[in-house]
Amino acid sequence: MHKDLLRLARAERTVRRHLLVCVMAAVLGGLLVLAQAELLSGVLSGGLTTMALLPLAAVVVARALSGLLQGVAAGRTATALKSVLRHRLLSRLRDLGPARLTGHRSGELVTLAGRGLDALDPYITGYLPAVAVAGVVPVAVLVRLFAADLGTAVIVLVTLPLIPVFGALVGWQTKVVTERQWRALSRLGGHFLDVVRGLPTLRAFGRARYQATVIQQVADAHRSATMRTLRVAFLSSLVLELVASLSLALVAVPVGLRLLSGSLDLRTALLVLLLAPEAYIPLRAVGTKFHAAMEGVAAADQTFAVLEGSSGEEPASRGDLAALPAGVPEIRLENVTVRYPGRTDPALEGVSLVVSPGELVALVGESGAGKSTLLHLLLGFVTPSEGRVLVGGVDLAGLDHDVWRRRLAFVPQRPHLFATSVADNIRLGSSASPEEVRTAAAAAGAAEFVEALPEGYATVVGERGADLSAGQRQRVALARAFCRPGAEMLLLDEPTARLDGRSEAAIVEATRTLAAGRTAVIVAHRPAMIELADRVIRVESGKIVSDRLALGGRR
């Protein structure tokens, strides 16, 4: 059984309660088989009167009700457990931040949180109850068989271990091929989502047909992995059925011969023949449920790898957090080196930098030079491999990152707009009133086009801002920053990239207003944005190669 899932189930009260009801109902239904066999053998042999049919019917009804209760409780257990896992997964991804998820494509994480965790249903609703039944019912059947007929009980005792032995041998191979199938499904889901997101670009550059071929190849790999998994599953079923059938034959043939010779009475013979299969059925069910549950187990392994995986230095405990200094902070990087997992070259190497309170610094350099990594350091998304980042003289690693980010205003290169109203997109992360939202939009130069929308600020935009132009999305992102008047530090990542001249001029003017009285670090390529800076820092290959005063800065 999956130890991490069971530990989580024990820790969550709702999950634990439903799982306990599910297991108890399954075990009760299995034990009622003994009473059913006793009554049925007695009625068929004439040892009991027809009045015994009433308790026999009651036992049958009780088994049906216990099966119904098990199904309901199992469904609620699965729903509660998946809800907890999805919540923890989302919280973990939020805490890790975008820069620490370099080992995961967004599509793979979507597949994991959706289709992957849904595959846990067979494990929770089928495999766990089957394991509980297999641990109790065969023992109870053996005890009753020893009391009824010693010879039959010995045969069952000797042959019973063959099923778990053969099941384990095939099960190991099943686990391997199922993990391969899950990895193939993750690649397929991740690649498909990434291709859909980039479809306009692929069409523009004539690569859509090629990507369709790639998806077909990935889908063929998943199909082949699925067929290998099914072949192993069918082999397992064949092996388990063969072993169980031979074992039952070893029981039935001697019982029949002894019954013909008169050395065994009819009631005992019927009881043995009714009970013997019930000793093997739970173990066969475990083998069957095991194969159905393996995809969910593979998804659970990946989920707990994300939940418990190392992401560099962990934040300090709540009791050890340093006090955040008041006022506009000085930012100081001392010999900072950043290395991403799986990459040989550092993203930043030995960077030392001081940004004075209220200073506007422009970072320039080629793509991939390390400028965005530097911003992610200041956001707390990345932890230095070496060196430290000081905010007002306090190590950022010792600060509460949530408190620190509330004092930041961040405008990314590609701002994400959600499928909600324009007003909600602007007030994201703040409790701004409608009037404050309008003021922020006006300051960012967004009021004119927002008010021209069909429902103004109540207009619902498409996911990722699909209904707006690049310049409009950028101005909404700037309006978000204006909605944080308490922010003392401004971080902008190429805010004028991909904009036309008119949109660029509006963004530059809004940035000038927004940066007033704040410490600001801006990644910039365009001359108009660089001219705003007090100081220009060039970054190449993760190192600062020049640091000079700007010619036309604010000072």
Looking at the structure, tell me whether residues 288 and 339 fall in a common domain: no
Whether the Cβ atoms of residue 276 and residue 90 lie closer than 8 Å to each other: no
Buried b / exposed e over 244-271, threshold 16 CB at 10 Å, is beebbebbbebbeebbeeeebeebbbbb
Is residue 172 in some structural domain?
yes
Asked whether the predicted pLDDT for residue 205 surpasses 60, the reply is no
460 in a structural domain: yes
Q: In the predicted model, is pLDDT for residue 222 greater than 90?
A: no
The reply to whether 272 and 408 lie within a common domain is no
What CATH number corresponds to the domain at position 369? 3.40.50.300
pLDDT at residue number 108? 66
Q: Does one domain contain both 153 and 73?
A: yes
- The verdict on 334 and 301 lying in the same domain is no
Unique residue bearing structure tokens 């291709």: 195
Which of the four pLDDT bands, split at 50, 70 and 90, describes residue 295?
Answer: confident
N- to C-terminal Cα distance for the chain? 66
Tokens of 35: 């009473």
Q: CATH number, domain at 274?
A: 1.20.1560.10
What's the average model confidence in pLDDT over 230-245? 74
Please indicate, yes or no, whether residues 301 and 335 belong to a single structural domain of this protein: no
Q: Which of 278, 308, 338 is at the close of a domain?
A: 308
Q: What is the span of the domain harbouring residue 69?
A: 3-308
Position 442 in a domain: yes
Q: What is the pLDDT of residue 100?
A: 52
Residue 111 lies in a domain: yes
Select from 264, 279, 308 the last residue of a domain.
Answer: 308
Q: Give yes or no: residues 336 and 296 share one domain.
A: no
Instruction: Indicate whether 357 and 295 sit together in one domain.
Output: no
Q: What is the pLDDT of residues 327-339, one digit of tens each?
A: 777 888 889 898 8
Q: Do 87 and 178 fall into the same domain?
A: yes
Q: Residue 334: which of 280, 283, 377, 273 has the closest Cα? A: 377
Strand order in the sheet with 543-549: 408-411, 489-493, 519-523, 360-364, 535-540, 543-549
* 522 within domain boundaries: yes
SS3 sequence, 295-337?
Answer: HHHHHHHHHHHHHHCCCCCCCCCHHHCCCCCCCCCCEEEEEEE
CB contact at 8 A, 349 and 539: no
215 contact partners, CB below 8 Å, separation of at least 6: 188, 191, 192, 195
The torsion angles phi and psi of 540, rounded to 5 degrees, stand at -140, 130
Predicted local confidence at residue 225, as pLDDT: 75
- Bridge-based pairing of strands 519-523 and 489-493 is parallel
- Locate 298 and state its tokens: 């593979």
Report the range out of 27-31, 281-285, 478-482, 506-510 with the highest average pLDDT.
27-31
Give the percent of the chain with pLDDT over 90. 4
Q: Is residue 64 part of a domain?
A: yes
In a shared domain, residues 301 and 236: yes
Domain tally, the chain: 2
pLDDT surpasses 90 at 65: yes
Strand segments (E) across 428-533: 489-493, 519-523
What pLDDT, on a 0 to 100 scale, did the predictor assign at position 85? 86
Query: In this structure, are 364 and 296 located in the same domain?
Result: no
Written as one string, the DSSP assignment of 146-188 is HHH-HHHHHHHHHHTTHHHHHHHHHHHHHHHHHHHHHHHHHHH
Q: What is the pTM of this model?
A: 0.57
Q: Are residues 115 and 192 in the same domain?
A: yes
| 3-state SS, residue 97 | coil
Write down the pLDDT at residue 175: 65
Contact 547, 535 (CB under 8 A): yes
- Cα–Cα dist 183/294, whole Å: 13
**Shared domain check, 208 and 90:** yes
Q: Are 278 and 137 in contact (CB under 8 A)?
A: yes
Q: Is residue 316 part of a domain?
A: no
Phi-psi domain of 215 (left: phi exceeds 0; alpha: psi -120 through 50; beta: other): alpha
Which residues have C-beta within 8 Å of that of residue 213, sequence separation ≥ 6?
none
**pLDDT above 90: residue 15:** no
Residue 321 lies in a domain: no
Average the pLDDT over 162-166 and give the result. 78
Q: Is 549 helix (H, G, I), strand (E, B) or coil?
A: strand
Percentage of the chain with pLDDT > 70? 82
